[in-house]
Structure formats: structure tokens, C-alpha cells
């Protein structure tokens, strides 16, 4: 049995969670979960983070519609980081880009790899 309490949360009760898109393998974003968000994610299959700024559950896509359906839930060797494989509706990034990691550093300069999706 998997017990969410067996994860290693930091001194704020949080654990980082990486979201990766099923199929493409694209790394979409990283956000945080607390123990309750882990439970909600596993129960609802709708990826739910903990918003540090709002100090509230953040059901990804609840307002934007850009939801993440949980495909697989992974724990790392140290139990202090999570990886969720997701079916992403729309862009994952709040800038309307597919991934939050659209800025590369190349030869000392920042390069924008993707533009916001239209609409």
C-alpha cells in the first residue's frame, strides 16, 4: 500500500511535483503538493497542487480549463520529489505556452523557444 504520509515533505510540508506529458515526454511544469493534495490527486485523477501564494488547493485548470488528467504517479528514490505523467488539455503554462520551460540559455543569452498559443 502507498501511504502519502511516507513521502518526505519539506519544512513547509511540501514536496515538488514535475508534470510530464504522456506520449511526447515534454516536461510541462513543476509545482508543489502537500499531503492532502497528493491524496486528492490520486483520488480524483485530476492533478491538484498546493498554491503557495494563495495557500489553497490548486486544481490545475479549474478556472482555465487547462486540466491535467493523471495517467501515472511516480515517486523518486529519496521520496522527496514526485513525477506525474499527465494528459494535458490546452497549454500548461499560465503564459499560454505548452510548457513553462520555454526560455533557454544559449551562449550566455536568453532565447525564447515558444510563443503563446493563440486564442
| Contacting positions for its own copies (CB under 8 A) | 1-2, 16, 18, 20, 24-27, 29-30, 42, 72-78, 81, 83, 93-95, 97, 100-106, 108-110, 113
Question: Which residue, 65 or 108, is less far from its own copies as judged by CB?
Answer: 108
Other CB atoms within 10 Å distance of the CB of residue 23: 10
Question: Which residue, 56 or 105, is less far from its own copies as judged by CB?
Answer: 105
Question: Which residue, 59 or 93, is less far from its own copies as judged by CB?
Answer: 93
Smallest distance from the beta carbon of 102 to its own copies, in angstroms?
7
DSSP 41-95: HHHHSB-EEEETTTTEEEETTTTTS--EEEEEEEE-TTSS-EEEEEEE-S-SSTT
Task: Name the grid cell of 61.
Answer: 485548470
Amino acid at each position: 500500500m502507498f501511504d502519502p504520509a511516507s513521502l518526505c515533505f519539506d519544512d513547509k510540508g511540501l514536496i515538488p511535483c514535475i508534470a510530464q506529458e504522456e506520449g511526447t515526454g515534454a516536461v510541462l511544469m513543476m509545482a508543489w503538493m502537500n499531503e492532502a493534495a497528493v491524496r486528492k490527486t490520486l483520488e480524483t485523477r485530476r492533478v491538484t497542487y498546493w498554491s503557495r501564494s494563495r495557500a489553497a488547493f490548486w486544481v490545475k485548470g479549474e478556472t482555465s480549463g487547462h486540466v491535467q488528467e493523471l495517467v501515472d504517479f511516480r515517486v523518486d528514490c529519496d521520496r522527496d520529489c514526485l513525477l506525474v505523467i499527465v494528459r494535458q488539455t490546452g497549454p500548461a503554462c499560465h503564459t499560454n505556452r505548452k510548457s513553462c520551460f520555454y526560455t533557454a540559455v544559449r551562449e550566455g543569452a536568453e532565447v525564447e523557444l515558444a510563443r503563446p498559443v493563440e486564442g
